[in-house]
Amino acid sequence: MHEEGGSAPGPDAWPGSAERGLFACAFIALFAELMLIRWVPAALELVSYYSNLLLVSSFFGLGVGVLLAGRRPALFGWFPALLLLEVVVILAAKRVTLAGATPTDELRFMPELGDGGAQAWGLVVLVAVFTANSAVLVPIGQRLGELFSRAPVLRAYTFDLGGSLAGTVAFGAFSYVAFSPVVGMAIPLGLHALMATWRQRLLGLPLGLATLAAMAQATAPGALWSPYHYIVVQDPAGGPPPSAPPPDVRTMPNPPYFVVAVNHTFYQYHGSLDPARYDDAPDGSWRPAPSVLERHALPHLVRPGARTALVLGAGGGLDVEAVLLHGVAEVDAVDIDPGLIALARRWSANGVYHDPRVRVHADDARAFLERDTRTYDCVVYGLLDSQALFSTMSNVRLDGYVYTLEGLRAGWQRVAPGGVLSLSFYVANQQWLAVRIARLLALATGREPLLFTEGMHLVAVVPRGVASRPAGLTSFRQVDGLAHDEAGAAVPTDDWPFLYLRERTIPSDYALVLAALALGVVVTVFAVRPVGGRLGAPEAQSFFLGAGFLLLQTKSITDCSVYFGATWLVTTVVVSGVLLMVLLANLATIKGVGRASYVSLFAALVITCAMPREWILGLPLGGRLAWAALAVPLPIFFAGQIFSTAFRAAPRPAALFGANLLGATLGGLCEYGSMVVGSRGLSVLLVAFYALSLAAARRYLR
């Protein structure tokens, strides 16, 4: 599939088309990258815990491609073939899952295979997935590098940034309105076909159609794509997925219940807890188990008579129905996923989201607690345990900032005098996790929690005032002393939000994959020589600027998720804002407005990294917005000006740009260091990257 000159006039043969080509290539790269990051974890559940490495491998592929600019063979026509290859790898690996639902260092909610061979195969699959994902973007990167030489360098960079920003915003809008993996992937494939020669289209179009067909086949009928999950309703008896609930599901006697799976893994039940609806249930039919009814009743046995309640992680509505059945007259129900709320409105027999006593909030639980000023007789944490990362820019889980010391303190502040806080959790036979939750609640509330266990479930109840000790429990038993056990000594905080990580360490499977990717970066830096010579001091400066850029972007997203919630919208807005800030820095350099200065960069880093997070959280919403809009982007702006200034003077712009993308790969890998040193500890590494960039720049100037 070599691109042969003269077979057809390429789009870059016309006046001004290099800029249009740069814009289109950047758009294709961002849109395809985000599509794969969204689809791959849904198709292969294992990747749900590693989706940020898909982003890192995307930067790696683009960087390699840019460094290959001007070399033969020309790879642009290979994009559809490599995309199909990645889809085939994903679908072939669907049955291979990393072993261990209960590994030694991090709790994962995945099927357990239970032997070392399965673990090894899981790691092989991960490396194969990330290698295939990198390869997809190499052809786009090569075309980007070639187009950079056909226009004034900063003008070319402007169109590249504009295409990246447009791709990010377009994907965000597409995901919000009506996400579809087939329609979504057709967009970059269609743009690629428009840019390709006729010879490339002859093979590229059939391969693209095969890719879309394979993705369609991997999507279950009736599946729902929410902003966070790939959701499928399943028959609990194992039959074919139901197409629709009974029309009278909210009123019928002996109503059915349904299993809801996200990313092919069990997530929650949708049904009813009301025993009165099952009085005439025939033998063998489903009815709420006594342990389930007892689990939901515990906070009301400790503190009966609640009139107002807040339910966090409302999901299918069972926790909301439970508080209504115990006489609560006013409920605020919060769940981060609007898709699960919409599903429950249609499928759940409890019908709580149609009840006038219930106010529904599609919001992040932590963000709701920070904004809400009301108090409640009963604050209920449902089963919030997540099975995915909240962002491709971070290794923090979706519920990471809910289960921190500061997050639970925010929940305790919403408990009225005489009220009660209840937290349910599936601890999966992990004693250390039960101990950690007990210690967290004791530290956050200043009170000893009442702890009840049944099988793999833990219910912790903390009363604010006089409490009744439940008597006559048949399923749960009360346990004492867990909050003083040293097994859960590592308490999650906003700086280290890793509830599921047993110790401050990088889990072994993460470390092996990170090492493989880091080795790939090192080999590429030494093996890939751009046309015109070796990589030198200018490329080193660009490399470390790229490393600092992605690490800084990651830090901005994690910080803003604490201030405004770990929602997809916050991530999209921050990424778009970062790209816009780099674009403005580039335009300022073109116009000669301001002067690139490492002094300004380091001053801005000190301001943003040294400011106590607690002080920012204490600001009203307007103050936090002002901080996020004015202070957070400052280092990105100054770093962008430094890069644009170096870019303008570069004798080989493509080599500089490729080194920058490879540096971003390193910065993304280093983000995993937060598992050991926390978010603030990464600030030291961030400053080190920019200091190394300064050292390389000074060497080049000498």
Sheet with 224-225: list strands edge to edge: 224-225, 230-234, 258-262, 265-270
- Find out whether 228 and 343 touch, Cβ atoms under 8 Å: no
Nearest to 113 by CA among 122, 123, 100: 100
499/493 Cα distance (integer angstroms): 9
Q: For residue 444, which amino acid is it? A: A
What is the greatest pairwise CA distance in the chain?
Answer: 88
Give per-residue pLDDT as tens, 451-473: 999 888 899 999 988 766 787 78
Helix (H) or strand (E) holding 258: strand 258-262
pLDDT value at residue 100: 39
Where helices occur in 427-495 by DSSP H, the ranges are 431-445
Give the pair of three-digit tokens for residue 679: 């978010």
Q: How many residues does the chain have?
A: 702
Give per-residue pLDDT as tens, 360-404: 999 889 989 988 889 999 999 988 767 667 666 677 888 888 999
208/84 Cα distance (integer angstroms): 7
114 pLDDT band, cuts 50/70/90, is: very low
Mean pLDDT in residue range 484-491: 67
- My answer on whether 639 and 579 are in the same domain is yes
Domain limit, last residue, from 192, 220, 248? 220
313 within some domain: yes
Residue 532 reports pLDDT greater than 60:
no
- My answer on whether 543 and 483 are in the same domain is no
Mean pLDDT in residue range 641-664: 87
- My answer on whether 661 and 596 are in the same domain is yes
- My answer on whether 297 and 204 are in the same domain is no
Domain limit, last residue, from 488, 511, 528? 488
Give per-residue pLDDT as tens, 117-128: 556 677 788 888
Domain limit, last residue, from 488, 523, 549? 488
369 within some domain: yes
> Is there a cis peptide before residue 139, judged by omega within 30 degrees of 0?
no
Q: How far is CA 541 from CA 545, 551, 583, in A?
A: 6, 16, 19
Query: DSSP readout, 482-532?
Result: GGG-GGG-S---SSS--TTBSSSS--HHHHHHHHHHHHHHHHHHHH---TT
pLDDT value at residue 170: 93
Residue 26 reports pLDDT greater than 60:
yes
CB neighbour class for 193 (10 Å; exposed up to 12, middle 13-18, buried from 19): middle
235 within some domain: no
Give per-residue pLDDT as tens, 248-306: 989 888 888 888 888 777 888 888 999 888 876 665 566 788 888 899 999 998 888 89
214/210 Cα distance (integer angstroms): 6
pLDDT value at residue 76: 94
- My answer on whether 46 and 132 are in the same domain is yes
CB neighbour class for 248 (10 Å; exposed up to 12, middle 13-18, buried from 19): exposed
pLDDT value at residue 15: 40
pLDDT value at residue 287: 77
Residue 566 reports pLDDT greater than 90:
no
DSSP E strands, 330-395: 330-335, 358-362, 376-381
- My answer on whether 552 and 484 are in the same domain is no
110 pLDDT band, cuts 50/70/90, is: low
- My answer on whether 179 and 94 are in the same domain is yes
Mean pLDDT in residue range 64-72: 88
395 within some domain: no
DSSP E strands, 276-428: 308-312, 330-335, 358-362, 376-381, 415-426
607 within some domain: yes
Q: What is the CATH number of the domain that holds 322?
A: 3.40.50.150
Give per-residue pLDDT as tens, 225-243: 888 888 888 887 777 778 8
439/448 Cα distance (integer angstroms): 9
664/642 Cα distance (integer angstroms): 16
Q: What is the mean pLDDT of the chain?
A: 84
526 within some domain: no
pLDDT value at residue 23: 95
- My answer on whether 442 and 572 are in the same domain is no
Question: How many domains does the chain divide into?
Answer: 3
- My answer on whether 458 and 562 are in the same domain is no
Pairing outcome for strands 376-381 and 308-312: parallel
State the residue range of the domain holding 415: 287-387+405-488
pLDDT value at residue 121: 73
Mean pLDDT in residue range 156-182: 90
515 within some domain: no
Give 246 or 330, the one with higher predicted confidence: 330
pLDDT value at residue 103: 45
Q: What is the CATH number of the domain that holds 587?
A: 1.20.1250
- My answer on whether 340 and 455 are in the same domain is yes
632 within some domain: yes
- My answer on whether 481 and 544 are in the same domain is no
Give per-residue pLDDT as tens, 591-630: 887 777 899 999 999 888 888 877 887 777 778 778 887 7
Give per-residue pLDDT as tens, 407-462: 999 999 999 999 999 999 988 878 888 899 999 999 999 998 999 998 888 999 99
- My answer on whether 1 and 114 are in the same domain is yes
pLDDT value at residue 12: 43
Give per-residue pLDDT as tens, 5-23: 333 334 443 345 889 999 9
Give 531 or 187, the one with higher predicted confidence: 187
